[in-house]
């Protein structure tokens, strides 16, 4: 009889441990990914913050914030978030009919100070055409951006 009680107690303890430290956090992590994928960035950050040190949650917070910054045109902040997790940022510049001094580059700072030229036009700004942030291996993040030049006719 005593061995049954011991086994039952052990089972309950293991089940509680797995539920609290693996099953529930994994479910929250998966939910955070879904929120991120549908563009609910602030909610995704809340879930990742709740998870604390679970998996790469702290790095995912930086990825979510970077993506949000890229979508609102705050490229410097987005790039900084990627750099905060020792990530790499690759940028392709679509000059949109103009001439750019650089077609693509891997950034080493968050300063994207590339000014293209187009006859009879004034450069307005770079607009996000594409963003992809990938995690090739644990803790190896790469952001790939395509920025498109916006012009105003003179």
pLDDT digits (tens, 9 = 90+) for 132-153: 999 866 778 999 999 999 999 9
Report the percentage of the chain scoring pLDDT > 90.
66
Encode the chain in three state secondary structure: CHHHHHHHHHHHHHHHHHHHHHHHHHHHHHHHHHHHHCCCHHHHHHHHHHHCCCCCHHHHHHHHHHHHHHHCCCHHHHHHHHHHCCCEEEEEEECCCCECCCCEEECCCCCCCCCCECCCEEEEEEEEEEEEEEEEECCEEEEEEEEEEEEEEC
pLDDT digits (tens, 9 = 90+) for 8-21: 454 454 444 444 45
pLDDT digits (tens, 9 = 90+) for 62-93: 999 999 999 999 988 999 999 999 999 999 99
The structure's pTM equals 0.79
Rounded-to-integer distance, Cα 50 and Cα 52, Å: 6
């Amino acid at each position: 009889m005593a061995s049954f009680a011991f086994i039952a107690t052990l089972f309950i303890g293991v089940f509680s441990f797995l539920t609290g430290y693996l099953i529930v956090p994994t479910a929250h992590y998966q939910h955070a990914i879904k929120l991120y994928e549908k563009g609910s960035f602030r909610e995704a950050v809340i879930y990742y913050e709740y998870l604390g040190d679970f998996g790469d949650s702290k790095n995912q917070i930086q990825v979510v914030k970077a993506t949000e910054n890229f979508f609102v045109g705050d490229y410097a902040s987005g790039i900084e978030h990627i750099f905060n997790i020792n990530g790499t940022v690759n940028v392709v510049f679509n000059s949109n009919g103009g001439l750019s001094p650089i077609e693509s580059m891997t950034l080493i700072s968050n300063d994207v100070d590339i000014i293209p030229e187009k006859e009879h036009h004034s450069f307005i700004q770079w607009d996000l055409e594409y963003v992809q942030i990938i995690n090739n291996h644990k803790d190896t993040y790469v952001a790939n951006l395509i920025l498109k030049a916006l012009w105003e006719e003179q």
